[in-house]
Amino acid sequence: MGNEFQKQVRALSKTLLSFLILVLFLFGGLYYWANYTPQPDIVEIPLEETTDDYDKVENGVHVATGFIDDTGMQATIQNCTACHSAKLVTQNRMSREGWKAAIEWMQETQNLWDLGANEELILTYLSKNYAPTDKGRRQNLENIEWYELK
Amino acid sequence: MNRRGFTNKISLAAMATVLGSDIVFAHRMPKDYLPLGLQDPDPFKMFSKDKGMVVLNDKPWNMEAKAHLLNDDITPNKFMFIRNNGRTPEQIDTSKWTLTLDGESVKNAKTYSLAELKSKFQHHTYQLTLECGGNGRSEFNPPAKGNQWTVGAVSCAEWTGVRLRDVLDDAGINSDAVYIGYHGADTHLSGDPKKEPISRGVPISKAMQDETLLAFAMNGEDIPLAHGHPLRLVCGGWPASTSGKWVNRISVRNKVHDGEKMGGTSYRVPCETVAPGSKVEDSDMCIIESMPVKSLITYPKSGALIKQSQTLNINGHAWAGELEVSKMEYSIDFGSTWHSCSLKKPANRLAWQHFNATVSFPKKGYYEVWGRATDAKGKAQPMVLPGWNPKGYLNNACHRIAVKIV
């Protein structure tokens, strides 16, 4: 009788084991399939340079956003362009105090999150690269495109 | 992990943040594919704007004209500035559009369908000057925060609609009504459905004017989407932010409307003038009402080279908020002497007025032609920047163009 029982246990374990192996193969296969990146047969032709490279920097300016490339730019992009355009940042000029006030205003009224340790990084980046210059009470006309008027 | 792979993941994370959800099967996304929600459509095509317009901001959309693009007597859509505060509403069904009148001071809260508004009330058409309160902000020193408008955030289109007064009279307003506030269908940039991007308004006296319209047409056609289709409140002569777009509700208030961008530094200036760069308490700020006197030389484009034998014909527009412009002058010697321009009467109250003059120059050299308008109360445009204010509103300094006599 003891023998009989042992036989049954062994048979059961074998079935369970084969199931386990089957399941392992199945999931392993699925996992492999899901993560499989096909190797293209055709040679990749790079697109026009400006359109596809998000990280491209030209003449010190991040092409995709227009931000000046400097320490803190990545944190600024990640925290400041989720709601509004980078253009709203880059067209403005403020002191560190002014940028801080703008961040606080956005936190109080516009659902901006706590920037944590990034705040220091972002403030330093903005006040260094987007600082005001003294424009006086009226500036000269600039960038005049001269043309002949008949 | 190499740098390229790492930054790839950052970009994906950034995309996911913007879309408000994770990008499932991101690794299966074709390498150069941008999710539909992130594709950058051509704003000039999308809004039928002239290629000469300048995009200041693409989220939210803000676009301005240049002086020489505004030469038409009536501004066509292609040269009309866009100032949006939130996300443009999508999928507007005009057959289901309604306008609700509510608030503490309305006698009978009422809802009208668009068709009802059009059939029940008499139609009126006016040319109305709409200028962004922040037009000219870019010149302030110290700089003011916000979209850096130069001169092109102004337009004068022909608006057709029903008088707000007629609709208010139909619903009935109580004697304690002091203000109306609009609510629109645009949504907040943060995606928060509980937040309104902007909800401003005007005092009852402005709401009851003949020219204050609930407009459904601009220049004889349906209002373009970017300008408030299918219904826009139009309050000519006041900051264009009082002309609420995509309007679906008007609240009749028994106090000054307290909607989004009615308080703080928004569309408000120090009640008493302050030195440039001063910190001003909220309690010392007053709401902007009528816009000040201003003008633009729209022809020729700045930068004209002309021969000494030639005379120069200049023209443009002048406006003064609630008032009429009574005098228009030009100077070619930086304000030492002024000469009059011929100035037309407005097509109707609150429409800009057209001016022209023939200018001759004494000898070769670099000149600037400056324009200066004076309103019916004798106030003229300043040649330098007017009073500094924290958000850089109301810059009505004289416009000028460069000319060289060769």
Residue range B109-132, pLDDT digits in tens: 999 999 999 999 999 999 999 999
Type of residue numbered B130: L
Residue range B143-195, pLDDT digits in tens: 999 999 999 999 999 999 999 999 999 999 999 999 999 999 999 999 999 99
Q: What is the pLDDT of residue A54?
A: 87
Answer yes or no: do B201 and B319 share one domain. no
Answer yes or no: do B267 and B329 share one domain. no
Answer yes or no: do B270 and B328 share one domain. no
B177 domain-assigned: yes
Q: Could you give the CA distance from residue B109 to residue B27 in angstroms, rounded to a whole number?
A: 53
Domain residue limits at A107: 51-129
Q: What is the pLDDT of residue B2?
A: 41
| List of residues 6+ apart from B290 with CB closer than 8 A | B237, B238, B321, B322, B323
Residues 91-150 in A contacting B (C-alpha not used; CB under 8 Å): 91-95, 98, 102, 105, 109-112, 132, 134-139, 141, 144-149
- List helix spans (H) across A1-150: 2-35, 49-52, 73-80, 86-90, 96-109, 118-129
Span A121-133, average pLDDT:
96
Nearest CA in chain B to A66: B57
Q: Which of A21-30, A99-108, B226-235, B321-330 has the lowest mean pLDDT?
A: A21-30
Q: Cβ distance B187 to B86 under 8 Å?
A: yes
Answer yes or no: do B34 and B91 share one domain. no
Q: Cβ distance A69 to A55 under 8 Å?
A: no
Residue with the bigger pLDDT between B256 and A24: it is: B256
Residue with the bigger pLDDT between A62 and A6: it is: A62
B126 domain-assigned: yes
Residue at a domain's end among B254, B287, B320 = B287
A16 domain-assigned: no
B305 domain-assigned: yes
Answer yes or no: do B364 and B268 share one domain. no
Q: What is the pLDDT of residue B3?
A: 40
B66 domain-assigned: yes
A102 domain-assigned: yes
Q: Could you give the CA distance from residue B360 to residue B339 in angstroms, rounded to a whole number?
A: 11
In chain A, which residues have their Cβ closer than 8 Å to the Cβ of B146?
92
Residues facing B159 on adjacent strands: B126, B218
The total number of structural domains in chain B stands at 3
Pick B302's closest partner by Cβ from A47, A81, A144: A144
A142 domain-assigned: no
Residue A17 pLDDT > 90, yes or no?
no
First to last CA, chain A: 117
Q: Model confidence at A43, in pLDDT bands (50, 70, 90)?
A: low
Flag if A147 and B397 touch (Cβ within 8 Å).
no
What is this model's ipTM?
0.85
In chain A, which residues have their Cβ closer than 8 Å to the Cβ of B141?
134-137
A5 domain-assigned: no
Answer yes or no: do B35 and B68 share one domain. no
Residue from B277, B272, B275 nearest B143 by CA: B277
Flag if A54 and B11 touch (Cβ within 8 Å).
yes
Nearest CA in chain B to A150: B306
Alpha-carbon distance B167 to nearest alpha carbon in chain A (angstroms): 33
Residue B240, Cα to own-chain centre: how many angstroms? 4
Domain residue limits at B235: 58-287
Flag if B17 and A137 touch (Cβ within 8 Å).
no
Q: What is the pLDDT of residue A39?
A: 53
Type of residue numbered A4: E
Residue range B356-388, pLDDT digits in tens: 999 999 999 999 999 999 999 999 999 999 999
CATH number for B239: 3.90.420.10
Residue from B114, B79, B93, B130 nearest B216 by CA: B114
Q: Model confidence at A7, in pLDDT bands (50, 70, 90)?
A: confident
Q: What is the pLDDT of residue A36?
A: 62
CATH number for A56: 1.10.760.10
Residue range A47-98, pLDDT digits in tens: 444 456 888 999 999 999 999 999 999 999 999 999 999 999 999 999 999 9
Q: What is the pLDDT of residue B1?
A: 36
Q: Could you give the CA distance from residue B213 to residue B168 in angstroms, rounded to a whole number?
A: 11
Q: What is the pLDDT of residue B23?
A: 52
Cβ–Cβ contacts within 10 Å for residue A25, how many?
10
Residue range B191-209, pLDDT digits in tens: 999 999 999 999 999 999 9
B51 domain-assigned: no
Flag if A149 and B304 touch (Cβ within 8 Å).
yes
Answer yes or no: do B298 and B401 share one domain. yes
- Determine the 3-state secondary structure of A81 from DSSP: coil
Residue at a domain's end among B235, B264, B287 = B287
B18 domain-assigned: yes
B46 domain-assigned: no
In chain B, which residues have their Cβ closer than 8 Å to the Cβ of A111?
188, 190, 192, 195
Would an 8 Å CB–CB cutoff place B17 in contact with chain A?
Answer: yes
In chain A, which residues have their Cβ closer than 8 Å to the Cβ of B60?
84-85
Residue at a domain's end among B255, B270, B287 = B287
Answer yes or no: do B135 and B239 share one domain. yes
Type of residue numbered B104: E
Alpha-carbon distance A24 to nearest alpha carbon in chain B (angstroms): 22
Flag if B139 and A93 touch (Cβ within 8 Å).
no
The total number of structural domains in chain A stands at 1
A84 domain-assigned: yes
Answer yes or no: do B248 and B378 share one domain. no
Residue range B286-300, pLDDT digits in tens: 999 999 999 999 999
Q: What is the pLDDT of residue A1?
A: 52
Q: What is the pLDDT of residue B178?
A: 98
Span A114-139, average pLDDT:
95
Alpha-carbon distance B179 to nearest alpha carbon in chain A (angstroms): 23
Residue range B245-268, pLDDT digits in tens: 999 999 999 999 999 999 999 999
Would an 8 Å CB–CB cutoff place B368 in contact with chain A?
Answer: yes
Flag if A149 and B305 touch (Cβ within 8 Å).
yes
B45 domain-assigned: no
Answer yes or no: do B167 and B277 share one domain. yes
Q: What is the pLDDT of residue B7?
A: 39
Residue range B2-53, pLDDT digits in tens: 444 333 444 444 444 444 444 555 555 544 444 444 445 799 999 999 999 9
Answer yes or no: do B89 and B21 share one domain. no
Q: Which of A143-147, B79-83, B89-93, B252-256 has the lowest mean pLDDT?
A: B89-93
Tell me the whole-structure pTM to 2 decimals. Answer: 0.83
Q: Cβ distance B252 to B173 under 8 Å?
A: yes
Task: Give whole-number Cα distances, B387 to B54, B247, B380, in Å.
Answer: 27, 33, 14
Q: Could you give the CA distance from residue A105 to residue A103 in angstroms, rounded to a whole number?
A: 5
Q: What is the pLDDT of residue A4?
A: 79
A64 domain-assigned: yes
Answer yes or no: do B191 and B71 share one domain. yes
A135 domain-assigned: no
